[in-house]
Amino acid sequence: MATLDIEDLRRILVDCAGEEEGAEVSGATLDTPFEELGYDSLALMETAAAIQDEYGIVLPDEDVSEARTPRNLLDLANGAVRTGG
């Protein structure tokens, strides 16, 4: 199974929340809190659902709500890939 990278996450966030609502997500913003990037908890839950639909990676709601930065969410998703969910 493929792992998510920052470009995948950016695309999914834009699909879920729209470009205008969030700031640019890139390698330079990996450790910037989602709140500062303009993404709220609803956008993150929608993103987690899209990750599950597209990649088959199940991310528990409580874990997603604790992911504060793009790096945290990528690590969570990619950790689920390595451990099988």
DSSP annotation of 3: P
6-19+29-83: CATH class: mainly alpha
Q: What is the reported pTM?
A: 0.86
pLDDT in tens, 70-80: 999 999 999 97
Cβ within 8 Å of residue 58, ≥6 positions away: 52, 80, 85
Tell me the pLDDT tens digit for each residue of 8-60: 999 999 898 876 555 678 888 999 999 999 899 999 999 999 999 999 999 99
Domain ranges of the chain: 6-19+29-83
